[in-house]
Structure 1
Amino acid sequence: MMKLIIKISLLVFLFGIFDGYAQQKKSDIQEEIAGLRAVGSPSNPKVQMNWSRYHDLKQMEQFYKDLQKAYPEYVKYESIGKSYEGRDIFVLTVTDFKHGDANRKPAMWIDGNIHANELQGSEIAMYTAWYLVENVHTVDFIRDLLKDKVFYIAPTINPDSREYFIYEPNNMHSSRTGRRPFDNDGDGLVAEDLYDDLDDDGQIVMMRRKTKTGKYKVDPENPNRMLMVKPGEIGAYEMLGFEGIDNDGDGLVNEDITGTYDPNRDWGWNWQPSYVQHGALYYPGTLPETQAVKKFIYAHPNIAGAQSYHNYGGMILRGPGAAEDQQFYSRKDIQVYDALGTAGAKMLPGYNYIVIHKDLYTVYGGEIDFLALTRGIFTFSNELMTSYKLFNNKEDAGLRGSDEYIDFDKYLMFGDAYVPWKEYDHPQFGKIEIGGAKKNYTRNHPGFLLLEDAHRNAAFTIYHAYHMPKLEVLETTVKSLGANLYEVNATIWNDRIIPTHSDHDVRYKIERPNLIHLEGAQVLTGMRVLNADFNETVEQRFQPAQIEVPSIEGMSAVKVRWIVKGKPANLKIIIDSAKGGKVEHQVKSEG
């Protein structure tokens, strides 16, 4: 408990450092040509972007090109694989390439848009890359961060689905998947024919039919709102579901919706078949998109933190996805998650920090468990957008069907968020009316709210990245033991919250240990010092010059010792940590 209190106190202290770094220098203000720069934002970015809209794949790739061209010393982008339909899956690498080997810096993985209708994850991922490089010469904190860390940013890991949702008829909930053909009932209709856009307006809205036995009536104060009638009242309408037709006469409208799949059920940890976990395919990693991401993750053992963006609900999620996997989250690891997640809840008003299986629902084969439990990476998944953001009403937060969305459209969108009800002659239902919320409303942010949430979520991932391991040699001593033998001691300090290895990682030996090597002396023996006061040590029996340390915990130190022959001179200590980076320290010679 005391250790947790200390960590939280340090967290509060570091918030102060974060704020201090973000202050603009007076000289920077004087250099502004015109106007006044708003703190926290670039006044004249090299890459002009409209962060109040949703970009298609062509626009996104142009953004990657423009950012790399404007900041070649900080940005490169590459395709890590192809989607099912042959589209590139791009990853932006953002770091200061002039300082250190990018492959050896602690890395933050960010992705979004694994589901088709979760558009804003891509925008927030792109905004993060843009914000980092557009502020690198203005904000000292960002400059120093990119020297120490590297960001791998995949704005969309399901490009087929993104294009499908933007350019094909959909409603706010469809499609989570994409255009891969799945005919679930053998009628010859496949997943891309899920919905019929009756009036060809690009929106799949609701259908209603007038009837005195219906359970709904129109709200007299707002024609977009449907109200359930009270007991004893005569109804006016029955609701017929989302816009569409019964293609095969089986009495079901849009019946092939169950023929889809869920790419967030395709990962390798605790995968379950579709009869247990709806949306799973044939085996873990069926999808080429999943395979491409996994290949990249495995090829980059320096990834120490990860963030995946979804919608909806205003949640900062951590694993596990299933209750039976709670055993793999140790007390130490949960303390790290709690420190970061609690800070995130402060940075994101209206968002709650919660556990997936406990506070949401069970997920088998999810990406978050793959990253956290297969690779030992501290991972969060944010469910973007919440009704709290509409009027800052905590009592209504998270309720997508609430009246707040109707009022928000009335007062702030001026009717732009809904398709007005109109008559339509349906081939099966006869005279009906169609109307309702547009596909890019409720789950996806309205434009002016998108920019704010983009910055707050980017700030959370930047904060997460800042607290990935940062190692340094805190102090060294050289002591004569007589008989031409010398004792060399070193203290290695991790200055951030995240350890070099999660407790889960250490337990299951996912990543190799940290290696602390002494150069410049004939080493006879090496050891970890468990307790310097009582001289309690653990000997390194093989390769004594290179001491293996399972983990260096956050805000903690480890001590190592070597016994060497001959008076040492020009000693160098090299720390080699997969997730903590590579650090070299020259030991000052005596005399």
Structure 2
Amino acid sequence: MSVAPPVDVRFDRYYDHDELTERLHALEAAHPELATLRSLGKSFGDRDVWLMEITNRATGPGEHKPGYYLDAQIHAEEHATSAVALYAIHHLLTGYGHDETVTRLVDEQVFYVVPRINPDGAEASLKPPYYLWCGNGRFAPGQDRLGGLKTEDVDGDGYIVSMRVSDPLGEWKKSALDERIMVQREPGEYGGDYYRLYPEGFIEDYDGAHVRIDKPFDGNLNRNFPANWDADEYGAGEAPLSEPEAAAIARFILDHPNIAGMNAYHTHGGIILRPSMTLPDSAMSAKDLGLYTALGSVGTALTGYPTISIYEEFTPDKSKPRRGGLMDWTYEKMGIPSFATEVWDVETEAGVEKTAFYNLHPRTEEAQLKVFEWVQEHLGEHGVRPWKAFDHPQLGPVEVGGMVYIWTYRNPPPALLEKICHANVLFNLEHAAAAPRVRVERVETEALGGALHRVRATVANHGYLPSNLTDVAIGRGVAKTVRVTLDAGDAELVMNPREVDVGHLAGRNERPFPWSPWGPTWTPTTKVVEWLVRAPEGANLRVRVVSERAGRHEREIEVTS
């Protein structure tokens, strides 16, 4: 394999769509034996949703190998996730032939990486004034609400931040530790200077009293998938897969049943999320829960991120679980072991103790001060804007300023990107390496006389996961069994069908401790298949084992007496 020239890919900056596209094409051109770039579809803005397939095609086509799917930036403002996915592509391609783990995985498996599901939304939020935008390109910023307050850069400084408005009924006050920080007033507190806090913007149909802020209908592609879809979810869309980007992703996954693992990247929180989005752990399969616990512990060791249940620890109101998510669809409907990683946590970086996982705002005044000081040191005015007086056409005198949420809470400073990318991609490689792998261990023949021969093949699963991946896959009827085939050539098959269904093959994860009568019953990781053939001396026989999610393998043997 030829030595590829280096490609200009940096992990200390964020790329827009054209820059990302240029680098993806360059990586494909530099590694033609390993990389195949394709467009899964077009966004509303006519931008490509790119997917990079990575495998050593000399060892077989990708569809014949266990697949690992990774995606990023389904939400517009989550720019760091695109960097992680691009890092995964770069790491796999440049590490091949140099890194033992990368080389083995690219030889034996296939990687499917979507670095940016939502290219339209990313463009809207990547450049000034940095719209806090979740959705895709169905609506443009400013079109996502019918009326009320619409976010806009009112003072023209290139940033959309906050407005603080003096109001005796206000919920906020200036911190005694630093008046640039706003903290909640106490429940029984009166007699001070208080403020209302609003997103920066102008107000349509203002009645002079109440500032109406509607939920935006910009869309949320991660509520547009068929699992437990609910029209009332924020951004769910008109129907499941109504959005072209979500439909393109779903179509690809459905067309690639070899996918044996999946990770979706999000920001923020510094956590690894596992199923279920809608069910407590007590309602999950015990085997699958054990699988997630074991794989999640690997992720925690490599990234430092705790692994938690979306429903149990990331859903503040259990009566309103999240519905229509991609990860729930891939696991609950298709049985694929799936994680979602929320990269980056500014509070942890600033030294704030993590006491909860779903944080929309620092929980204490002291925590706010730590975050503020950290942002000041590492980002300056790109991370926090000084409060400046502004004569608002609806609200009158206000001050505009505060934290630039998208470059503090949502995404890290570019200088920290590479470290974040590296740790998370290492977890992806470990998750991918857990895939089931079927092998023909050996093929033996025994002469029985009269040109009759017994053919005995032993097949095994070399992987950590079983060939069915999960209990859910069996329960849903989507786990196809392992099949062993004898290609007898000119020989005559006397007994047993040419293709034998051997059921599923267990993985190492079934045996986390030595056998005990109190523990689970072990199921086979290895099975034997026999045929009776009539064949002349020197005839060639080929045995092949095939599994939809564990790949395929074959061995040949020559008939001898």
Bucket of the pairwise TM-score, normalised by the shorter protein? 0.7 to 0.9
Q: What is the match of residue 385 of structure 2?
A: 419
Cα separation, 1, equivalents of 2:102 and 2:526: 28
* Stretches of structure 2 lacking an aligned partner (at least 5 in a row): 316-320, 509-523
2:227 aligned with 1:269: yes
Cα separation, 1, equivalents of 2:414 and 2:145: 40
Q: Which moved more, 1:481-490 or 1:497-506?
A: 481-490
Q: What is the match of residue 285 of structure 1?
A: 241
Cα separation, 1, equivalents of 2:403 and 2:553: 55
Preserved contact between residue 506 and residue 550 of structure 1 (Cα < 8 Å): no
Cα separation, 2, equivalents of 1:296 and 1:283: 19
Q: CA deviation at 1:423?
A: 0.5
Cα separation, 2, equivalents of 1:120 and 1:216: 31
Cα separation, 2, equivalents of 1:375 and 1:284: 16
Residue by residue, what CA displacement relative to the aligned partner does 1:496-547 show, whole Å, maximum 9, x if unpaired?
Answer: 2122223322333215322210122533444xxxxxxxxxxxxxxxxx1211
Select 1:205's aligned residue among 161, 186, 196: 161
Cα separation, 1, equivalents of 2:21 and 2:210: 40
Secondary structure, counterpart of 2:324 in structure 1: coil
Paired residues for 1:296-445 under 5 Å: 296-323=252-279, 327=283, 329-349=284-304, 351-361=305-315, 362-387=321-346, 389-391=348-350, 394-395=353-354, 398=357, 399=359, 400-401=361-362, 402-403=367-368, 404-414=370-380, 416-438=382-404, 439-445=406-412
Preserved contact between residue 184 and residue 258 of structure 1 (Cα < 8 Å): no
Preserved contact between residue 223 and residue 325 of structure 2 (Cα < 8 Å): yes
Cα separation, 2, equivalents of 1:86 and 1:185: 19
2:94 aligned with 1:94: no
Q: CA deviation at 1:229?
A: 4.9
Q: Which moved more, 1:503-512 or 1:80-89?
A: 503-512
Structure 1 residues 413 and 187 mapped into 2: Cα distance closer, same or farther (>3 Å)? closer
Q: Which moved more, 1:51-60 or 1:333-342?
A: 333-342
Amino acid at match of 2:301: K
Residue by residue, what CA displacement relative to the aligned partner does 1:402-423 show, whole Å, maximum 9, x if unpaired?
Answer: 4232121234434541011110
Cα separation, 1, equivalents of 2:173 and 2:147: 35
Secondary structure, counterpart of 2:195 in structure 1: strand
Q: CA deviation at 1:491?
A: 2.3
Structure 1 residues 332 and 55 mapped into 2: Cα distance closer, same or farther (>3 Å)? same
Secondary structure, counterpart of 1:255 in structure 2: coil
Cα separation, 2, equivalents of 1:186 and 1:137: 49
2:125 aligned with 1:165: yes
Q: What is the match of residue 4 of structure 1?
A: none
Structure 1 residues 574 and 170 mapped into 2: Cα distance closer, same or farther (>3 Å)? same
* Stretches of structure 1 lacking an aligned partner (at least 5 in a row): 1-41, 527-543
Q: What is the match of residue 505 of structure 1?
A: 473
Cα separation, 1, equivalents of 2:12 and 2:89: 16
Q: What is the match of residue 240 of structure 1?
A: 197
Q: What is the match of residue 69 of structure 1?
A: 29
Cα separation, 2, equivalents of 1:181 and 1:411: 36
Structure 1 residues 393 and 198 mapped into 2: Cα distance closer, same or farther (>3 Å)? closer
Structure 1 residues 516 and 207 mapped into 2: Cα distance closer, same or farther (>3 Å)? same
Q: What is the match of residue 566 of structure 1?
A: 534
Q: CA deviation at 1:485?
A: 4.8
Cα separation, 1, equivalents of 2:82 and 2:493: 52
Q: What is the match of residue 442 of structure 2?
A: 475
2:135 aligned with 1:177: yes
Amino acid at match of 1:47: V
Q: CA deviation at 1:116?
A: 1.1
Residue by residue, what CA displacement relative to the aligned partner does 1:308-360 show, whole Å, maximum 9, x if unpaired?
Answer: 11122222112221128975x433333322221111011111x1111222222
Paired residues for 1:58-137 under 5 Å: 58-137=18-97
Cα separation, 2, equivalents of 1:111 and 1:579: 19
Q: What is the match of residue 249 of structure 1?
A: 206
Paired residues for 1:449-460 under 5 Å: 449-460=416-427
Cα separation, 1, equivalents of 2:475 and 2:173: 60
Amino acid at match of 2:534: G
Secondary structure, counterpart of 1:271 in structure 2: coil
Q: CA deviation at 1:224?
A: 3.0
Cα separation, 2, equivalents of 1:333 and 1:188: 44
Q: CA deviation at 1:93?
A: 1.1
Q: CA deviation at 1:474?
A: 2.2
2:152 aligned with 1:196: yes
Amino acid at match of 2:441: L
Q: What is the match of residue 505 of structure 2?
A: 552
Q: Which moved more, 1:47-56 or 1:143-152?
A: 47-56
Preserved contact between residue 546 and residue 552 of structure 2 (Cα < 8 Å): yes
Q: What is the match of residue 516 of structure 1?
A: 484
Q: Which moved more, 1:384-393 or 1:149-158?
A: 384-393
Structure 1 residues 395 and 161 mapped into 2: Cα distance closer, same or farther (>3 Å)? closer
Preserved contact between residue 217 and residue 234 of structure 2 (Cα < 8 Å): no
Residue by residue, what CA displacement relative to the aligned partner does 1:284-327 show, whole Å, maximum 9, x if unpaired?
Answer: 11111111111111221211111111122222112221128975
Preserved contact between residue 116 and residue 176 of structure 1 (Cα < 8 Å): yes
Q: What is the match of residue 36 of structure 1?
A: none
Q: CA deviation at 1:396?
A: 5.5
Q: What is the match of residue 584 of structure 1?
A: 554
Q: CA deviation at 1:481?
A: 5.8
TM-score (norm 1): 0.81
Paired residues for 1:209-220 under 5 Å: 209-210=165-166, 214=170, 216-219=172-175
Residue by residue, what CA displacement relative to the aligned partner does 1:154-186 show, whole Å, maximum 9, x if unpaired?
Answer: 111111111111135345xx2211342499999
Preserved contact between residue 145 and residue 214 of structure 2 (Cα < 8 Å): no
Secondary structure, counterpart of 1:492 in structure 2: strand
Amino acid at match of 1:341: G
Superposed CA RMSD: 3.0
Structure 1 residues 412 and 590 mapped into 2: Cα distance closer, same or farther (>3 Å)? same
Structure 1 residues 186 and 216 mapped into 2: Cα distance closer, same or farther (>3 Å)? closer
Select 2:218's aligned residue among 256, 260, 264: 260
Q: Percent identity?
A: 29
Residue by residue, what CA displacement relative to the aligned partner does 1:119-155 show, whole Å, maximum 9, x if unpaired?
Answer: 1111100110011111213212212211111111111
Structure 1 residues 489 and 389 mapped into 2: Cα distance closer, same or farther (>3 Å)? farther
Q: Which moved more, 1:405-414 or 1:544-553?
A: 405-414
Preserved contact between residue 524 and residue 562 of structure 1 (Cα < 8 Å): no
Cα separation, 2, equivalents of 1:451 and 1:389: 17
2:94 aligned with 1:138: no
Secondary structure, counterpart of 1:98 in structure 2: helix
Cα separation, 2, equivalents of 1:282 and 1:376: 26
Amino acid at match of 2:500: I
Amino acid at match of 1:225: I
Amino acid at match of 2:217: G
Secondary structure, counterpart of 1:323 in structure 2: coil
Preserved contact between residue 501 and residue 550 of structure 1 (Cα < 8 Å): no
Cα separation, 1, equivalents of 2:75 and 2:266: 7
Q: CA deviation at 1:49?
A: 2.0
Q: What is the match of residue 182 of structure 2?
A: 226
